[in-house]
Amino acid sequence: MIIRRAVAADIAPAASLMAQAYATHFRPIIGDAALGFDQAHFAARFLRELTELTVLDADGVRGVLLVKDGHIAMLFAAETGQGHGAALLAHAEAHGAHSLEVFADNDGARRFYERAGWQVTRDYQREFAGAQHRFLRYEKPMTRQQHTSPHPEEARRAVSKDAPVRAGTSFETRSAIAPQDEGSRRSKETR
């Protein structure tokens, strides 16, 4: 598996992956509004944000990561238990990600981030897809070592964000379901 910056050819498979994720994993949380997050919605978003989009390529796009200004706006891995979600999260952290939000009802995502050392810093409600939903903001406390000197592998990766990175992590995930679509309020965005 390789984690790399997305290119235009990745938009369609990444959009298909996310549309399927919303239709299956997020529909129980946000109801039928999840169906509005279709392939066209994600294709348009990924086209606009292509320079910030990262994909996990394991014989095709199997994971999506979107980080904006240190905030994980979207992280999703197609398969659980393969380490894909953990690899995407480690990649985001190595490139300065320090915050994210999840639906409070997404227990799998909450367990995933908490196992990785992320901590809830805020519990709030906001509009998403035409309705009020409860969210949790997570932040990752920096360790003393992160403040002073990064791990040699992380330092190598940080030198070139565009270079492909072979993923390898020290923890596995059983649930990589993490809706991170903060900027997609339907009332403020043309789909």
pLDDT value for 81: 87
C-alpha–C-alpha distance, residues 77 and 86, integer Å: 9
Q: Residue 20: enclosing H or E segment and its boundaries?
A: helix 11-21
Question: Which CATH entry fits the domain spanning 2-185: 3.40.50.11270, 3.30.70.520, 1.10.260.40, 3.40.630.30?
Answer: 3.40.630.30
Q: Which residues of the chain have pLDDT under 70?
A: 143-191
Which pLDDT does position 104 carry in this prediction? Answer: 97
Element spanning 114, H or E: helix 107-115
185: CB partners within 8 A, 6+ apart? 127, 128, 129
Of the candidates 11, 72, 87, the one whose C-alpha atom is nearest the C-alpha of residue 42 is: 11
Residue-wise pLDDT for 21-36, tens only, equals: 999 999 999 999 889 8
What pLDDT sits at residue 24? 92
**Domain layout of the chain by residue ranges:** 2-185
Instruction: Read off the pTM.
Output: 0.73
